């Protein structure tokens, strides 16, 4: 057994390290200029959007000129981690501020229990009007994420082509009120098939893909499943580049709509009054770690964009410490002056935005897939654990943000500290969880859409 004194001092060192994830620590320079609330809140929930495929997060392709413009007026969280690699548990964590092991909307087809208090319920209680325009799938009514929305418009895979005009009209009509508006889309999700001119935008100069290959949900799911069989069938290099270019075209398509959204924001005066949040439930893997789509806990899948544009663009800047998506709900309730419901496990990011944050800055992700995966990010490092496979990997996030080089063997002491954090987190989530696990009752149309997204066999 390791010397407990050494371990204790390492733990202290890691807490210190965790203060600035990169060392720049720009948050301390921010002023406390957050306008007094309550403000209208607009959530742009762009499913499957990888942080590092946006210009604002350093991507080389020009996928996101309008999101980058929004980012320049926002508090941009450099290292925001989703709590799960798949839609249902991750979205449920975002909307309840609770880890998946505690809210229990984990298994495929399970519903969020009524006992959980959602962001929409908490704000409705506070007198907010609540409205949502969603793209179906796990946000279809019946899965429980609709709790608290007085108006819930489900578009079942229609994407922003269906949702966009209705959401903008809703904003124009309700611009003077106090409201929570959720706009959610699967446009970036498989199939990677955006409309022209976005589709062709990043295809130029690529080697020819295999004739007939298209990155449909079925094709990508077949590749993903092959990695778990004895005979992996990874995409050939040209097909992989083709799939990525179409995924990026999908981001550009969503970004173009965000340009329209920003215009309406200014036209209606909501740019001055409202808080706008852009985020995703998870990213997407392109064979960086022997997989595609989203199932692993690597940064490709769990590092998500998080932009919080405060009214008038107050406090805009980049925040480097690690944060979790379960922190979003407490942050928005803090802004609204609303009390935190019992059982919320996230913490308000307002102190961090004000430059008054307190370490440790730590983030946990989890999934029952692939042998019970767990991940912890702390102090510029990240550990990923597969419980059933007894495999532990450690990465230096600053030098290796894609987590390609496992350094667990080189840093046994740090690995042990990270493991201790994971164990105490497990104890914490075991202390409280909802009963959960109920199956959602949803219609045939929803099941058909989930099939087309690759979720249901």
* Distance between CA atoms of residues 451 and 201, nearest Å: 28
C-alpha 134/C-alpha 129 separation (Å) is 17
Taking the least distance from each CB to Zn ion, the nearer of 67 and 134 is 134
| Footprint on residues 250-309 left by Zn ion (CB under 5 A) | 281
Which residue number, 47 or 379, has a Cβ lying nearer to Zn ion? 47
Answer whether 191's CB lies under 8 Å from 293's CB: no
> Which of 87, 101, 291, 446 touches Zn ion by CB under 5 A?
87
Question: Is position 241 an interface residue for Zn ion (rule: CB under 5 A)?
Answer: no
**The two structure tokens encoding residue 2:** 């390791």
- Work out whether 47 is an interface residue with Zn ion (CB under 5 A): yes
Supply angle C-alpha 124, 336, 75, rounded to 5: 125
362 or 370: whose CB is closer to Zn ion?
370
Q: How far is CA 415 from CA 302, 376, 393, 410, in A?
A: 20, 11, 8, 9
Cα–Cα nearest to 183, from 266, 115, 274, 108: 274
Nearer Cβ to Zn ion (140/178) = 140
Contacts 24+ apart (CB under 8 A), 218-225: 218/454, 220/190, 220/292, 220/293, 220/454, 221/190, 221/293, 221/454, 223/292, 224/291, 224/292, 224/293, 224/295
Sole window of 83-91, 204-212, 306-314, 370-378 interacting with Zn ion (rule: CB under 5 A): 83-91
Nearer CB in complex with Zn ion: 87/130: 87
Q: Find the shortest distance in angstroms from Cβ 88 to Zn ion.
A: 8
Can you spell out the DSSP letters for 162-215? HHHHHHHHHHHHTTTS-EEEEEEE-TTSSS--PPTTTTTTTTTTPPPPPTT---
Binders of Zn ion in range 175-194 (CB under 5 A): none
In three-state secondary structure terms, 75 is strand
Complex with Zn ion: residue 66 or 87, whichever CB lies closer: 87
Q: How far is the CB of 86 from Zn ion (least distance, A)?
A: 6
Q: Which residue is nearest to Zn ion (CB)?
A: 87
Interaction of residue 379 with Zn ion, rule CB under 5 A? no
**Least distance in Å: CB of 368 to Zn ion?**
16
Q: For 306, left (φ over 0), alpha (ψ -120 to 50), or beta?
A: beta
Q: Which stretch binds Zn ion (CB under 5 A): 40-48, 108-116, 118-126, 266-274?
A: 40-48
Shortest distance (Å) from residue 281 CB to Zn ion: 4
Give the shortest CB-335-to-Zn ion separation in angstroms.
Answer: 25
> With CB under 5 A as the contact rule, which of the stretches 46-54, 164-172, 314-322, 425-433 interacts with Zn ion?
46-54
- Nearest CA to 369 among 51, 100, 75? 100
CB-neighbour burial class of residue 264 (10 A; exposed 0-12, middle 13-18, buried 19+)? middle
In the complex, what is the shortest distance from the CB of residue 87 to Zn ion, in angstroms, rounded to a whole number? 3
To Zn ion, the closest distance from the beta carbon of 348 in angstroms equals 25
The residues, ordered by sequence, that sit 6+ positions from 18 with a Cβ below 8 Å of its Cβ are: 321, 322, 359, 360, 361, 362, 378, 379, 380
Nearer to Zn ion, 311 or 454 (CB): 454
Number of residues that bind Zn ion (CB under 5 A): 3
Closer residue to Zn ion, CB minimum distance, 19 or 279: 279
Cβ-based nearer residue to Zn ion, 52 or 406: 52
Compute the least distance from the CB of residue 229 to Zn ion, in Å. Answer: 24
| Minimum CB distance to Zn ion, residue 115 (Å) | 24
Binding site for Zn ion (CB under 5 A): 47, 87, 281
């Amino acid at each position: 057994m390791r010397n407990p004194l050494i371990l204790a001092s390492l733990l202290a060192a890691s807490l210190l390290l965790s203060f600035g994830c990169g060392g720049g620590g720009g948050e301390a320079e921010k002023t406390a200029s957050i306008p007094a609330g309550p403000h209208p809140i607009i959530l742009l929930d762009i499913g499957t959007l990888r942080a590092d495929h946006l210009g604002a997060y350093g991507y080389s392709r020009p996928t996101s000129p309008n999101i980058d413009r929004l980012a320049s007026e926002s508090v941009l969280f450099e290292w925001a981690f989703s709590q799960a690699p798949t839609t249902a548990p991750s979205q449920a964590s975002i909307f309840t501020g609770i880890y998946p092991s505690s809210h229990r909307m984990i298994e495929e087809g399970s519903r969020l229990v009524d006992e959980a208090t959602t962001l929409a319920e908490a704000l409705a209680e506070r007198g907010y009007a609540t409205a949502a325009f969603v793209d179906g799938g796990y946000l279809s009514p019946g899965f429980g994420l609709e709790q608290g929305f007085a108006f819930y418009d489900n578009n079942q895979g229609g994407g922003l082509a269906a949702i966009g005009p209705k959401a903008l009209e809703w904003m124009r009509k309700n611009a003077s009120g106090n409201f929570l508006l959720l706009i959610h889309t699967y446009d970036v999700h498989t199939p990677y098939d955006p409309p022209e001119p976005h589709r062709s935008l990043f295809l130029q100069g690529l080697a020819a893909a295999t004739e007939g290959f298209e990155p449909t949900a079925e094709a990508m799911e077949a590749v993903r499943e092959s990695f778990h069989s004895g005979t992996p069938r990874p995409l050939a290099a040209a097909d992989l580049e083709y799939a990525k270019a179409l995924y990026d075209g999908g981001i550009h398509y969503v970004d173009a709509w965000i340009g329209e959204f920003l215009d309406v924001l200014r036209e209606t005066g909501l740019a001055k009054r409202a808080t706008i949040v852009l985020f995703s439930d998870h990213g997407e893997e392109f064979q960086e770690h022997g997989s595609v789509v989203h199932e692993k806990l690597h940064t490709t899948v769990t590092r998500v964009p998080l932009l919080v544009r405060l009214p008038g663009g107050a406090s805009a800047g980049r925040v480097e410490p690690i944060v979790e998506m379960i922190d979003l709900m407490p942050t928005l309730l803090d802004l609204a002056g609303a009390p935190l419901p019992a059982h919320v496990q996230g913490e308000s990011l307002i102190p961090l935005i004000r430059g008054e944050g307190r370490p440790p800055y730590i983030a946990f992700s989890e999934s029952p897939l692939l042998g019970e995966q767990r991940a912890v990010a702390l102090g510029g490092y990240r550990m990923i654990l597969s419980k059933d496979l007894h495999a532990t990997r450690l990465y230096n996030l600053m030098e290796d943000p894609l987590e390609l080089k496992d350094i667990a063997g080189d840093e046994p002491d740090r690995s042990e500290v990270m493991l201790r954090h994971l164990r105490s987190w497990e104890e914490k989530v075991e202390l409280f969880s909802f009963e959960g696990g109920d199956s959602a009752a949803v219609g045939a149309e929803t099941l058909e859409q989930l099939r087309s997204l690759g979720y249901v066999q």
